[in-house]
Chain A
Amino acid sequence: MSPKKNNLALFVKQMPKNIFSGFVVSLIALPLGLGLAMASEAPPISGVITAIIGGIIVSFLGGSNVTISGPGNGLVGVLLAAILTLGLNDAYAAIICSGILLIILGFLRLGILADFFPSSAIQGMLAAIGLIILGKQFHIMLGNKISRPSNIDYLLEIPNTIIQAFSYENSGFTYAAIAGVLSLAIMIFYPKIRNKYLQLIPAPMWIVILSIAFSYYYELVLKLPNPIDAKYMLSGIPEAAQIITEIPSISFGKIGLPVFWSSVISLTLIASIESLLSIKAVDKLDPERRRSNVNKDIKALGLATIGSGFLGGLNVVTVIARSSVNVNNGGTNRSANFFHAFFLVLFIVLFSTQLTRIPLPALMAILVFTGYKLASPDMVKKIFYIGKEQVIIFLITLITTLNVGLISGISIGVFTTFIIHVMVNKSFSFFFRNWLKPNVLMFKEEHEANNYYVSVKHFCSFLNYYKLKQKLDSIPENEEVIVDFSFCEFVDHTVMENLHNYQELFAKNGGSFEIVGLDMHETDSKHPFALRRILPVPTFFENNLTKRQTLIGEIAENLDLNYNAKKNKDILFLNEFLFFKTRQANHIYNEVSGSDHSFNLFDIEFSEGEFIAKEVVRTTMLEIKLNQDAPSFTLDKEGFLERVYAFAGYDDIQIKNQTEFSKNFYLMGEDKEAITHFFTDNLVNFFESNPYYHIDSNGKSILIFQKERLASIKELKGLLDFGKRLQSTINE
């Protein structure tokens, strides 16, 4: 299908895009690397070393495509414990050993390891890690460095620190606290401001730039010393040459102690879980829908971890937030990971002295935000909707992880989940009898639709999900699959959630993935991922309509159109649009459609990016159906961002004799010839003489929208009018 010789040409062609995206990622990786390392009580530069080594090794040897590797937030808790108990030099030895274990896991093809953990337990563990990060760094963010024996104490101390922050005698501390709070504000409000110039630089880099600028302002303009206390400035950033000459001495002295190996195992466990979860999530974002080779990636991460450990860096893991930034900025292959490392080297060589101008509270604000995102109340609420039993699993894992440690936390989580499953089914022998049975049957239905049919027997939970997964993974994503649970008496939440991921994956690749046979199962909650049973459409209780909704309703009535305010999850038609290649549509609502279904106006909620880079966007869109086939294209007004993208490798298609149009609009698409043919003078005139909208065509229908926010009633009318006239112009 893909001739080999074209690969190099394609690689070179995509190179500018990857360089650009690697650059943007390095902007976020630099402050995060410094912060994560400091949160683990390691020298700040070790985080950057981790990202550099990770970026270089994994980009050459890894098995995934658009992931970025570096220091991970999940590991902060474990690294912190390791460094505190073993000392820094022995912790490096533990990091190296965990790298070796990771390589072994990779060779044993244990990439399935993460499938054996119930998802609520994993979420509980991640939330605990979030709280550990948040609890510790919150105090530094407010200029109050304290040291407490346990993670819980740090959390309990938070109100105290807030009160104290208003009454520092040393103004240096007050300035430190102000820097921290302002940085936190930047992290919180940055995603809400949708300005394309501002968004070019990620929020953490804004914090770095602003704080360095602030320091220079005092030094050069006011000729005063920096008002922030020197204790709260970033210190210990070595020169580039120093990093190479002063490699830390690694001590393997404690290799015989059990505490050493428990650190190694925690590091390996968390590093592999975090990487595996990230790879899975990033694969969903990959615009080209490639499948990552998980085991190859694990091996590369292990090797990178060994290298990083020897050079004074931390564990290398696949990180989700940076990877999603990479995808959003056009990264297409592993070279973006390499360039991210390359730019980090450049930063360290050129600006290492400037980095000491960053106040610690500013960096810690980034971490506090990260920690909050890991343990946000929204997540607990979501789990609560899925089912009360999931909340129990979540909380038990969370509390044990905070109090005792990661390994105990996740073990208790797994155990609790199993006990709850036994209680729900009121039978232990049901699990015992059927656990090891090969309960999944797959075959291709030969004489009918030629689809894959997968039947699952007995029960399907985190205990034996890997069997189902193995079968599902061997089906190409553009095929049709029916998963039948008619013979399966119990399906748990972990499986439901994973199957939902498969559904999305297949839908995006043009296949279909249907789940049948769950109708007779019972469930406690109405959440689709609840254990035991999936409901076709969750029933939301009737809300009072907002004013906007009433007005939309009136418009629909006046124009004799249908209006439906309810959430609609049937959004598969969006996947074919270019705009949704890297974005995840959640649902549409407030639908207005004509009786002939030739157009559909709706509000939509979609998300961009993942984790701390995740931004949920609501906007209003209009889909119009075309009578004739059209080429796929995207039409946008030429602005600053598009110029950047054009520089990064996309081509602007020029229309003959329409220089004015070509200058003002940015038109892109694969089939150049068909597009130039499609844009007749008539159509060009239409676009030039009408207000500007973003247009996305998938060949059969056209998606029109203007702003990345919901449209007002007036804008809504305008959009509807524009769409109708465009429809008649094209259909002429």
Chain B
Amino acid sequence: MKLKPFKTIGIGATFSPNLEANLYEASRLAMLFDSKLILIHVGESSDDKKVKFQSILQPFIEKGLDYDIVFKPGKPVDVILSITSSYNIDLLLIGALKRENFVKFYLGSIARQITRKALCSVLLLTHSSVDNKPCKHIVVNGLKDPKTKETICLSFYMATNFKAKKMTIVEEIAQQEVAVSVEDDKSLRRANINKERIKLREDSRVKKLIEDIDEQYTSSVNYNIQPIFGKRGYSIGHYAEVVRADLLIMNAPDKTSFLDRLFPHDIEHILTELPTDVLIVR
């Protein structure tokens, strides 16, 4: 397990009403993980802008924030992606937009493209604010996937750092896995037996993953395993919303093609309606 997963944190900075809140969140994270913060601004460099950014970061600079401001004109998506790779950024922060009249968040089209194409982990911020708000409950996926181990590992690391009280590892059990369609009492009983069996199997699989993680991270976190029945990738967001989680951590999808966007699955669902802050681990 990597003890310091995020050495460099990047954030795209534009002069929007959310700028201050986003920068505060980013700086706090950088301080917490002891990593370098890189501000990426798409546009020409100017002293004026630099001063503005610095004035916002001032309280953190005083506390010893290690930061850098990068200016580069061009297409936003390309610029941010290229800087991410050239500066070795391993966590990219993206602020979400609020849908009018609703308490719902979604990603703008640029943010969505970045999320899909980025090669590093991405944290999508919904309720970014100037004030520090505690992270109490983390929800993480426990999918049967080679990446899951790392994701869960990282979640424990985050939970320990955030001093989160609670962590829930969610196993999404798809209807296909139950493999019995309920038609009458008999098939209902069979389906329920199947569900129990899948649940036990998944439980033991996740427990095995956790056993391998260094105890210094697992000991202070109160975690449980929750099987849910629903569509993969979508229902976990729904679950995070229902339990009012503060952070949802998910595996990155393998690859998204054009078809995946037409028939959304996994992460694509989450991008259209963000239930809470979402960390996509790569």
Contacts and interface: CB of A to CB of B under 8 A. Distances in A.
Contacts of B175: 470
Interface string A266-303: 00000000000000000000000011111110000000
A236 interface: no
Given A474-B188, A476-B188, A441 B183 contact: no
B269 to A, nearest CB: 7
Contacts of B184: 63, 290-293, 296
Contacts of B229: 441-443, 471, 474
Given A441-B228, A487-B241, A290 B185 contact: yes
A332 to B, nearest CB: 15
Interface in B235-264: 235, 238-239, 241-242
A290 B189 CA distance: 12
Q: Name, among B184, B189, B239, B241, the residue most crowded by chain A CB atoms within 10 Å (CB to CB).
A: B184
Given A63-B184, A295-B183, A443 B224 contact: no
B71 interface: no
A545 B185 CA distance: 47
A192 interface: no
Contacts, number: 70
A447 interface: yes
Contact of B226 (A439, A446, A473): A446
Contact of B238 (A294, A441, A471, A473): A441
A459 B192 CA distance: 28
Interface in A132-152: none
A109 B180 CA distance: 12
B230 A447 contact: no
Nearest to B180: A474
B82 interface: no
Contacts of A470: 175, 182
A444 interface: yes
A444 B227 contact: yes
B224 A446 contact: yes
A294 B228 contact: no
Contact of A457 (B188, B225, B238): B238
A109 B183 CA distance: 9
A438 B264 CA distance: 11
Nearest to A474: B182
B181 interface: yes
Contact of A443 (B183, B227, B269): B227
A437 interface: yes
Interface string B172-213: 000100100111110111011000000000000000000000
A442 B181 contact: no
A483 interface: no
Nearest to B183: A293
A355 to B, nearest CB: 38
Given A295-B183, A296-B183, A441 B242 contact: yes
B231 interface: yes
A131 to B, nearest CB: 35
Given A442-B229, A443-B226, A109 B181 contact: yes
A440 B230 contact: yes
Contact of B182 (A442, A447, A473, A487): A473
Given A109-B181, A443-B239, A476-B188, A438 B234 contact: yes
Given A437-B269, A438-B235, A443 B228 contact: yes
Q: Name, among B231, B235, B238, B269, the residue most crowded by chain A CB atoms within 10 Å (CB to CB).
A: B238
A484 interface: yes
B185 A441 contact: no
A720 B229 CA distance: 52
A476 B230 contact: no
A400 interface: no
Q: Name, among B229, B234, B239, the residue most crowded by chain A CB atoms within 10 Å (CB to CB).
A: B229
Nearest to A457: B238
B178 to A, nearest CB: 8
Contacts of A455: 238, 242
Nearest to A440: B230
B236 to A, nearest CB: 9
A586 to B, nearest CB: 27
A118 to B, nearest CB: 24
A111 B241 CA distance: 32
Contacts of A63: 183-184
A476 B192 contact: yes
Contact of B228 (A292, A439, A442): A442
Given A443-B227, A476-B192, A487-B238, 10 more contacts: A109-B183, A291-B188, A293-B183, A437-B269, A439-B238, A442-B230, A443-B226, A446-B224, A447-B224, A487-B241
19 contacts: A63-B183, A63-B184, A291-B183, A291-B185, A291-B188, A438-B231, A441-B235, A441-B242, A442-B228, A442-B230, A443-B226, A443-B229, A447-B224, A457-B238, A457-B241, A474-B191, A476-B188, A487-B241, A487-B242
Interface of A: 63, 109, 111, 290-296, 437-444, 446-447, 453, 455, 457, 470-471, 473-474, 476, 484, 487
